[in-house]
Structure 1
Amino acid sequence: MLTIDTLSHRLSGYLEPSQVMSVKRAYYYAEQAHMGQFRRSGEPYITHPLAVANILASVRMDHQSLMAAMLHDVIEDTGIPKSAITDQFGQTVAEIVDGVSKLAKIDFESQAEKQAKNFQKMALAMTKDLRVIVVKLSDRLHNMRTLGALSADKKRRIAKETLEIYAPIAHRLGMNDWRIEFEDRSFAATHPLRANRLLASLQEVRGDRKAIVDKIKAAIQDRLDRQEIDGLVIGREKHLYSIYSKMRAKYKSFREIMDVFAFRIIVDNIDDCYRTLGAIHNLFKPRPGEFKDYIAIPKENGYQSLHTVVVGSQGVPIEVQIRTKEMDDFANSGIAAHWIYKTAVNEESESLEGHDGVQRWVQRLLEINKLTSSSTEFVENVKIDLFRDEVYVFTPKGSIIELPSGATPVDFAYAVHTDVGNTCVACRIDDRPAPLSQVLYSGQKVKIITSGNTQPNPNWLNFVATAKARTAIRHYLKNQRHIESIELGKRMLNRSLVNLDMNLEQITDQQFTHVFEETKVESLEELFECIGMGKIQAFTIAQILKPDAELNSRDSAPITIDSADSLMVSFARCCRPIPGDPIIGHLSKGKGVVVHAETCKNAMNLRNQGENIANVNWSLNVTGEFQTGVRIEVRSERGIIATLAARVAQTGTSIEGIQVEERDAEHSVITLTLSVTGRVHLAQVMRTIKTMSSVTKVHRSKK
């Protein structure tokens, strides 16, 4: 049975005597505070904090973390305030205890928003002191080890939460041993029959595999001895949840997965890692494309190792990991290993790589939190970062940028800097032009081309893979939409006031106060935004300001459309208006102004139904391109579409879409969706198309 004396003996192996005494003092304080409290198993409650501290001792955490582990339930369960902990054990320990206490009641089965808020709270606790989450993980690990006293439903709930939240966080912090235990215990609690069956199968094949494992191990050890490399060769066995996941994801049988043999080789230094790799590749034939160098390019959680897959005798696949002892500690304990080494190494040591990587991730959490407006959105984006495989690409200057699998140049741009992402217009991959939506692969060099006169494209949200890019784009567009809606609302109100021989500058504070009371808005900015978003009609505000005036929405001076790129002005797909077309505007709630052609049937219906219609017209200098359709009747012949596309391209016009409809054996109808600057541009394109001998008729399509 674990006691404070046995724990103290264990701690004396790596802590100073004064630090061990501080941990013991925290234990006795917690023991007194929890006096009379018991766990569901019937044991005194103090056995839980003691066990949590023991788990932290297994990864050699610092004395302040151990003290916090002893005290982590004191604030929550005994009513002792944080100030008392501060007085007794100092500010640092009190902050860790307080952080863990705030995470104590995550209710996974509650409403989505409440669950999201709790997850957000836990993620942000890491940004203050990483030890908060390490103590919390050890608390959860002991709870998983003692699930036996709980009901089956509660076991499954806790296991599901552990698998979906705590295991990924442990993985992200590089704490591989804890992640494996979280996954295996969660698997056993959620699917006990499957877990037992797999365990029995694993024990059954273990004996059959032993001879092969021993033979491969002996061959590797012999080769290392001949090369005078001092290395420890360990046979690795896949854990239950890993086997189960691969069977489900790859539709493989248990036998197929177990046919792969895995070994880890621990050596003294980095030079020996690469010498060992050479020795292994001389001993067995390497599989092409299966070598990964995580020493030169560590994973973001600090993981470092050489990975290779070779083929042994009789075609047996062998996975080999090669690393130093220090790298192995980081691979197993992750961020916890930072406290082992931080006082024993200098700033240039590879040992701090993991801590720096996690700190970068934590910094990203803060950025994501600032750019998201809700807890649900925060969680959605953080989970993108938790569940990801990495690719490594290079900047033009040779710096390495780590991105998740499936990332694009837009993700790369935002990873470099938010401003680079916001002004990105094009890219070059390996010195060749490439689309911004192209998926990146490890080893590629990416150059981003920027322009100060651009902004993020909403379509980027359809293909970006990183949380940072997604949140930055949404934040920019939301902010831009807010700014544009205020500006549009201000213009619309001013135009409504023109017919009353008034303008905004003449409106007094008292008049605006009256408007605020009538419309239930709180500020002038909010009033403009509501008008711009179509929630309040501008002529309604004008009537409030001058009740005796007879005014309707069509009396206002027209709104000028000067650009194709506005978040608050959109162009109806039913009629696709372009500059030069007579147009009207529909104030759509939440969308701003939707522009229709005057002849559009939908626009006529909206007008007849008394919808909020606004006067709009085109500016003399409209910028941007507008989509419209052209319907072309042709005689069917080989290569007609390619010829037509080439003829349109000669005019410098982009084709956004092509639809082909066969009318009969000899005739077809081709509908092109084109990007044009206006009616003059469209007329030029249509004249060019008419010169083709196979074209019988060209006219503008309404859709």
Structure 2
Amino acid sequence: MTVDPQYNEDQDAKRQLDEILKNCTRCQSAEDHRLIIKAFELSMEAHKGVRRRSGELYIMHPLAVARIVGEEIGLGAKGIAAALLHDVVEDTDYTVDDLTAIFGEKIAGIVDGLTKLEGAFDQTKSKQADNFRKLLLTMVEDVRVILIKLADRLHNMRTLDSMPDHKKYKIAGETLFIYAPLAHRLGLYAIKTELEDLSLKYEHPSVYFDISEKLKDYRTRNDQILTRFSLPIIDRLSHEGFEFDIKGRPKSVFSIWNKMQKKSVPFDEIYDLLALRIVFKAKPGIPEKTQCWSIYSLITDVYKPKPDRLRDWVSVPKANGYEALHATFMGPDGKWVEIQIRSERMDEIAERGFAAHWKYKGQQDKDTELDNWLKQIREVLDNPDVDSLEFLDDFKLNLFSAEMMIFTPKGDVKVMPKGATTLDLAFEIHTNIGYKCIGAKVNYKLVPLSHELKSGDQVEILTSEKQTPKYEWLNYVTTAKAKSRIKEAFKKERKAMVQKGEVMLEEALNQKRLTTNAKILKKLQSFYNFPNKEELYYKIGKKIIRWIIFQKY
């Protein structure tokens, strides 16, 4: 008796569903299970008979995306249901209205957002920028849209082998350009690292395999060093009553390649390849930050630290919510070893990013930098005049930027992208402070608007009611928020000048008993070589052209 292969595949799909239900920590109720099963059954029916390029049943893709969303990102039942349905509207006869009727507005809204993003980067650059703006608009409304999109992209990258070479190259480039930085900004470090490594594998396969082999060999040779290095730390921490896990933290292929490119050095000269991570169970009643520093102090009793390699993200977390203490120590074999110190909560936020951030949000009394970042995006996108292409460029710059901490006169901390100026900070505090800014005091010294800030600076913004925005300010700012606000001010001013110029021209022509008409406007445009009448009105409004010159008309 032969077994129907279709039966086996269907059984495999059901097994995948069982795994999703078993491993979802945030969907244990019967109602949650019913919702996920209902979404699976509809998706299975909708994609029936359809296969992926690799030859497997299409339903295996939404199932894989749902597993990533549940297990690697940590979303709940609605997020998993939306992941199972994410291609239904795009690829089948079901509509958003159908999904609204069956699953409600929330899930249908997420699927609708994902459908709008499908093929977002297949068009011309300006169209891509427009679509990217739509992606961000959807993200600030419901961040699950971008989390599911990242899971979708991750599974596509994991199964990219079945695609033709030109498609592999295009998808890898697109992933590195926008999806990996977004995963980084949302704190999804594991996903960001995998996306980067897979992009490198398909864009520069020989480089990828060369570094992978060298890394494998390096680990084999140095595993014993890490073990010897770890033993005294394990003894010391255990003696002090810490419950913890300590393990090697392999550097990613992409991060090594990136360092080699930036520093123009060979593989053998990258010195922080040895790394450990300590994840501890927080003791009740003692702040986690204090416990991180206690562990650091205990390690310094055993090994000498490298002072310039201490990174404190427990006092001021990164803008994507990341918290940890990073330090580098000299080991007994004359090799530097980097150690990351995190609590279990910090570790979950580091690995699962935004989803874990919301899980712990109730324990904090104020908005995090991640909330502030989303607010900033919403503010910039709320301005209908923002040019999508310019916004994409500015936003990309801010996605990639390293961060620095700036202190206000009262000691509050503002996290700014590296390279930000005093004027960027003024707009970061408030739009009107930006418009009225005349300079600043940095560490009690007067500096101009264009002064580039450094991490740790204490800055007092100086303002004057007489100050108005200047067009050249665009040369002094680096953040998307500051650029969009300056452009917005000039669009308003320009509109007012155009209206004023139109009135002035009409009055000047009335004195000559003439009325504004297309013939006169065309003559004036031609005489002054202006591309349109709006430019003419603007120059008259600004009094660059005076009404006396119209006498010949």
| Both structures adopt the same fold (TM-score exceeding 0.5) | yes
The reply on whether 1:96 has 2:115 as its aligned counterpart is no
8 Å contact from structure 1 (residues 229, 272) kept in 2: no
Q: 1:537: how far off?
A: 9.8
Query: What is residue 61 of structure 1 aligned with on the other side?
Result: 75
Q: 1:4: how far off?
A: 1.8
Select which of 336, 349, 369 maps to 1:357: 369
Q: 1:288: how far off?
A: 2.6
Query: Counterparts of 1:269-668 in structure 2 under 5 Å?
Result: 269=282, 270=288, 271-313=290-332, 315-338=334-357, 341=359, 346-348=362-364, 356-371=368-383, 372-498=385-511, 500=512, 515=517, 533-534=535-536, 568=542, 614=549
Q: 1:613: how far off?
A: 9.3
8 Å contact from structure 2 (residues 278, 342) kept in 1: yes
Alpha carbons of structure 1 residues 52 and 259: separation in structure 2 relative to 1, 3 Å: closer
Q: 1:496: how far off?
A: 4.4
8 Å contact from structure 2 (residues 499, 537) kept in 1: no
Output the CA distance in 2 between the equivalents of 1:479 and 1:396: 33
Q: Could you say what secondary structure the match of 1:231 adopts?
A: strand
8 Å contact from structure 1 (residues 160, 186) kept in 2: yes
Alpha carbons of structure 1 residues 480 and 82: separation in structure 2 relative to 1, 3 Å: same
Alpha carbons of structure 1 residues 12 and 308: separation in structure 2 relative to 1, 3 Å: closer
Query: What is residue 638 of structure 1 aligned with on the other side?
Result: none
Query: Counterparts of 1:101-250 in structure 2 under 5 Å?
Result: 101-108=115-122, 110-250=123-263
Q: 1:535: how far off?
A: 7.0
TM-score of the two chains, using structure 1 as the length reference: 0.70
Matching residue's letter, 2:57: P
Query: Would you identify which runs of 4 or more consecutive aligned residues in structure 1 move more than 4 Å?
Result: 516-520, 529-532, 535-538, 612-616
Q: 1:516: how far off?
A: 6.4
Matching residue's letter, 1:281: T
8 Å contact from structure 1 (residues 408, 464) kept in 2: yes
8 Å contact from structure 2 (residues 501, 538) kept in 1: no
Output the CA distance in 2 between the equivalents of 1:303 and 1:76: 35
Output the CA distance in 1 between the equivalents of 2:417 and 2:445: 22
Matching residue's letter, 2:441: R
Q: 1:132: how far off?
A: 0.7
Query: What is residue 6 of structure 2 aligned with on the other side?
Result: none
Output the CA distance in 1 between the equivalents of 2:250 and 2:548: 70
Q: 1:478: how far off?
A: 2.7
Q: 1:131: how far off?
A: 0.5
Matching residue's letter, 1:93: I
The C-alpha deviation readout for 1:338-365, integer Å capped at 9, x for no partner, is 45x25xx74427xx96xx4333222222
The C-alpha deviation readout for 1:370-389, integer Å capped at 9, x for no partner, is 34432212212221221111
Indicate the larger mover: 215-224 or 232-241: 215-224
Select which of 29, 35, 48 maps to 1:35: 48
Q: Could you say what secondary structure the match of 2:405 adopts?
A: strand
Output the CA distance in 1 between the equivalents of 2:29 and 2:205: 44
Indicate the larger mover: 258-267 or 460-469: 258-267
Matching residue's letter, 1:455: T
The C-alpha deviation readout for 1:363-422, integer Å capped at 9, x for no partner, is 222222234432212212221221111111111122211110011110110010011001
The C-alpha deviation readout for 1:225-273, integer Å capped at 9, x for no partner, is 2333333222211111111111011111101115542121112231321
Q: 1:329: how far off?
A: 0.6
Alpha carbons of structure 1 residues 379 and 236: separation in structure 2 relative to 1, 3 Å: same
Q: 1:80: how far off?
A: 0.7
Matching residue's letter, 1:357: E
Indicate the larger mover: 23-32 or 374-383: 374-383
The C-alpha deviation readout for 1:172-230, integer Å capped at 9, x for no partner, is 10000100110011111111111111111111222111111111111321222233333
Alpha carbons of structure 1 residues 237 and 495: separation in structure 2 relative to 1, 3 Å: same
8 Å contact from structure 1 (residues 396, 445) kept in 2: yes
User: Does 1 or 2 have the higher relative contact order (CA < 8 Å, sep 6+)?
Assistant: 2
8 Å contact from structure 1 (residues 492, 532) kept in 2: no
Q: 1:493: how far off?
A: 4.2
Output the CA distance in 2 between the equivalents of 1:243 and 1:293: 22
Identity percentage of aligned residues: 34
Q: 1:488: how far off?
A: 3.9
8 Å contact from structure 1 (residues 175, 336) kept in 2: no
Select which of 28, 33, 46 maps to 2:59: 46
Q: 1:285: how far off?
A: 2.0
8 Å contact from structure 1 (residues 263, 318) kept in 2: yes
Alpha carbons of structure 1 residues 492 and 289: separation in structure 2 relative to 1, 3 Å: farther
Q: Could you say what secondary structure the match of 1:483 adopts?
A: helix
8 Å contact from structure 1 (residues 408, 437) kept in 2: yes
Q: Could you say what secondary structure the match of 2:441 adopts?
A: strand
Q: Could you say what secondary structure the match of 1:289 adopts?
A: helix
Unaligned runs of 5+ in 2: 1-11, 283-287, 523-530
Alpha carbons of structure 1 residues 209 and 78: separation in structure 2 relative to 1, 3 Å: same
Indicate the larger mover: 325-334 or 442-451: 442-451
The C-alpha deviation readout for 1:645-678, integer Å capped at 9, x for no partner, is xxxxxxxxxxxxxxxxxxxxxxxxxxxxxxxxxx
Output the CA distance in 1 between the equivalents of 2:382 and 2:550: 39
TM-score of the two chains, using structure 2 as the length reference: 0.88
8 Å contact from structure 2 (residues 193, 252) kept in 1: yes
8 Å contact from structure 2 (residues 498, 537) kept in 1: no
Output the CA distance in 1 between the equivalents of 2:25 and 2:295: 36
Q: 1:296: how far off?
A: 1.5
Higher percent of residues as strand: 1
